[in-house]
Structures are given as structure tokens and as C-alpha cells.
Amino acid sequence: MEPGLEELMPRLLPVGDCDLAEDFDPTVPPRTPQEYLKRVQIEAARCPDVVVAQIDPRKLKKPTVNISISGCRPAPEGYSPTLKWQQQQVANFSAVRQSLNKHRNHWRSQHLDSNVTMPKSEDEEGWKKFCLGERVYSEIDALSDNENLGIDYMKVGFPPLLSIVSRMNQATVTSVLEYLITWFGEKKFTPELGRWLYALLACLEKPLLPEAHSLIRQLARRCSEVRALEESKNEEQISALNLIICLVSRYFDQRDLADEPS
């Protein structure tokens, strides 16, 4: 042991010179406390100061980490948003968030409630139907002719009204965002989906939790994939996808995902 280390590592069981029997044999079980302590001392002295473990690298399991560092696909030619447009959308979004927080706090302070019954936070299928409506959820292209023209929110989905989103805590916001992003990963983009994605992004508190950070990056990349595959070049839909990518990249500081103006 190097000089000075003994002072840093004081012995918990100091053993001095013990009166041991002449027939003391350290190889047999100790018969007295003194023999026990002496045996511990002898065994400790035999231990090397540094022990190197022998590990077979073939038995080590390679860790699996799913981290995507890919950016967004570029917008179709002629549809890349200008920097001025992106800056304006960020400013508008910031104003919406401030207004939402103000009215949400007022709504909660007044203990107002909505007559809309929301699904439980863990009810993924319930939230998909609630936000998107039975028509989108069941992938029905159009309403039947004999259907009542009045608004049936169970069929067309509930809009993200203040009376609804103000009752959602951050855990619920993150859960619903995850449900809709999962849905979007396999389905097409719809106006109902776009409205809810915008509202949920507006409800996300900064700084982002790791889970939310991963989700919004996944969302931006998915938007860029759908945008790149948009064959009809629907300007309204491309603009909506541009908006989500813009908010994720420029408002939530994911600059590596941002559209670079041409």
C-alpha cells in the first residue's frame, strides 16, 4: 500500500499482537475471536492491491440504443418556406401560447368545467376517436347522404377547444401527443389531426421533458416524409406540414430539423 493511503482508509478491525496458542493453524476454522481476527488480517495481506477482472468479450451483449439523428427531408421543389414566413409562424405560435396560458389559468381559477367527457389518459383508442372522430378513425371517406347534417362530434371529432385542453395536465398532453404521432406514423395527414397537433404543441411546457423532446422530433421527421411523398402537391396540406416542422425546429430549438430557405 502506498504511503498515506492507510490514513485515508482506516482499518475497521485493527488487530495488534494477539496472544495466540502455539498450535494456531490459519487453515482451520478459528476457535477464538483473536484467531478469527488474525485470520482476517492474514487473508487481507494476501490480497493484491489491484484486481483485474477477466471478462470474456464474446459474452458481452452489445447495447441496443435506438437514436435517430437523421434530419427532415427537404420540401418539394418550389414549396420550401421562406425564412420570413417561418419567423412569422413562430411569433404567432408564441402569442397563442401566451394567450392559452393566460386563459387556462383563469379557467382553472374559476373552477369551470366542461360538459365534455374526455377519455382517461391511458385510453389510447379512446383519445384517437375523441380527437379524430369515428369517420377518420374508421377511415370512412365521406358521410352518408342520409346522415344528419348536424354536427356530431363523435363522428367528426372534438376540436381542441380551450374548455378541453385547459383540463389536460402535462402527462395527458404528452400521452395524447404520442397517441396521435403513432397514428400519423401509419396514416395520412388530416385537418383534424393537424389542429390537435398544433394545440398539443401549444400546451407543451418548456423546457421539454426527454420523452416530449423525442416525440416532437419524430413528428417533424414524419411530416417531412409525408410532404416529400405528396403527389398532388396540395398547397394547403404542404403548408400545414411546413408549419409543424417550423414550430418543432425553430420554436422548440431543434434547428437541425429546420427547413433551410432556398
pLDDT of residue 51: 56
Residue 228, Cβ density class (10 Å: 0-12 exposed, 13-18 middle, ≥19 buried):
middle
Residue 200, Cβ density class (10 Å: 0-12 exposed, 13-18 middle, ≥19 buried):
buried
Angstrom distance (rounded) from CA 249 to CA 163 = 28
Torsions phi, psi for 78 (to 5 deg) = 90, -5
Q: What is the pLDDT along the chain (262 residues), one digit of tens a residue?
A: 444 444 443 444 455 555 666 666 777 666 666 666 666 667 666 666 655 656 665 555 544 434 445 789 988 888 889 999 999 999 999 999 998 887 776 666 555 556 788 999 999 999 999 999 888 888 765 555 445 545 677 788 899 988 889 889 999 999 999 999 999 999 989 999 999 999 999 999 999 999 999 999 999 999 999 999 887 778 899 999 999 999 999 999 999 999 987 6
Question: Domains of the chain (ranges plus CATH)?
Answer: 83-139+153-257 (1.20.58.1070)
Q: Which residues of 101-134 are buried (b: 16+ CB within 10 A; e: fewer)?
A: eeebeebeeeeeeeeeebbebeebeebbbbbbbe
